[in-house]
Amino acid sequence: MVEGSVTPKPGEGRPKAIGMISGGLDSSLAVRMMQSLGFEVKAVSFYTGFCITETHRRMGGRPRDGAIPRSEPLYAAAEAGVEVELVDISDEYVDIVTNPRFGYGANMNPCIDCRIFMMKKAKEIMEAEGAELVFTGEVLGQRPKSQRRDTLRLIERESGLEGRILRPLSGRHLPPTVAEKDGLIRREDLLSIKGRGRREQIRLAEKLGLLEYPQPAGGCCFLTDESYSRRFRDLIENRDTRRYTKDDVVLLATGRHFRIGPGEKLIVARTDGENLLLERYAKERWSLRALEHKGPLALCEGSPEHQVRHLASRIVARYGKGRDEKQVRIGWVRGEESFELHVEPFDDDALIEPYRL
């Protein structure tokens, strides 16, 4: 990699490049590389609605330590000194995640469709900004599905960005882009990183003075999380419309979830913070909790008949201080409606497991 080696077109200033940035190590490195090559970089980051940071902030902090997580793309752009644009694609994303043309990854992550969609948006920004290319921090072979050679090519073709997507970290392994063919960049300016290891990236980060970056397990997409995906799959499979709301996205990350009927689901809070959050999201749902014992708040979605109400009440009683009592009084409230049930708490977690999501 040669610093400042980019060759502007005659009569033009520094060429511009649009960088897809997550704030992780690879995309941060790609930004630094492109800056070093002499490009003016504009970073873009997309908001799909499945943002872990957003939900953790909504809950008052991360579950493990209560810390308020920072916005990694914003922080990375600020540290690199590049302009950043956050693009909200959450409304359009509903169709992608519920009906992906190229299927899901290991969980409910429609990574290929997602990348194609984001690249199409990046293309619009590239054209509006008069930029030469779009670049990413993708590394060939790093991810099993979305970063294979054939998939990278597919994403380029489907997004209408053939020859216009530069992956500088793996550039020497990939066909030359238009920028390279036009002489704007040289092959020797690109790197030849591939695979899942991070040793080369860490070495490069030290060289470029990039000292602080999130660990790779971080990520900001709930759809790559196994537990979240299981709940999300259940949700869209049990809705005729296969649609979800912003509230659903938050609730899927909150509490213990139980499928107690085809149209009924129970969410039981695990902490005081989740009790407060469920209170805020009760809205058209039933709220239920033990009336004479300390215990969690729970929400029940759908239109539960007596048998399902009884089942839900027994589960809620299991998680309260009255779990060892013979009978527990559970109060149900929805707007102006309310009623009580006297139930025997489940006395064994194994009896609850078949319902758990």
Binding site for another protein (CB under 8 A): 43, 45, 47, 51, 53-55, 57-58, 60, 68-71, 73-75, 77-78, 81-88
Secondary structure string (H, E, C) spanning 282-297 = CCCCEEEEECCCCCCC
Q: Nearest distance from residue 55's CB to another protein, in Å?
A: 8
Q: For residue 140, what is the DSSP state?
A: B
What is the distance between the alpha carbons of residues 279 and 269, in angstroms, rounded to a whole number?
Answer: 10
Q: Work out how close the CB of 84 gets to another protein at its nearest, in angstroms, rounded to a whole number.
A: 4
CB of 81 or CB of 209, closer to another protein: 81
DSSP state of 194: B
Shortest Å, Cβ 126 to another protein? 18
Q: Which residues contact 197 (CB under 8 A, 6 or more apart)?
A: none
If the CB atoms of residues 71 and 146 are measured against another protein, the closer one turns out to be 71
Nearer to another protein, 52 or 315 (CB): 52
Q: Please give the C-alpha separations between residue 305 and each of 217, 223, 237, 245, 301, in angstroms, as whole numbers.
A: 42, 32, 21, 24, 12
Q: How far is the CB of 83 from another protein (least distance, A)?
A: 6
Specify whether the CB–CB gap between 252 and 222 falls below 8 A: yes
Quote the least distance from Cβ 288 to another protein, whole Å.
25
Please say whether the beta carbons of 146 and 105 come within 8 A: yes
Q: Are 265 and 144 in contact (CB under 8 A)?
A: no
* Residue number with CB closer to another protein (48 or 177): 48
Closer of 228 and 319 to another protein (Cβ): 228
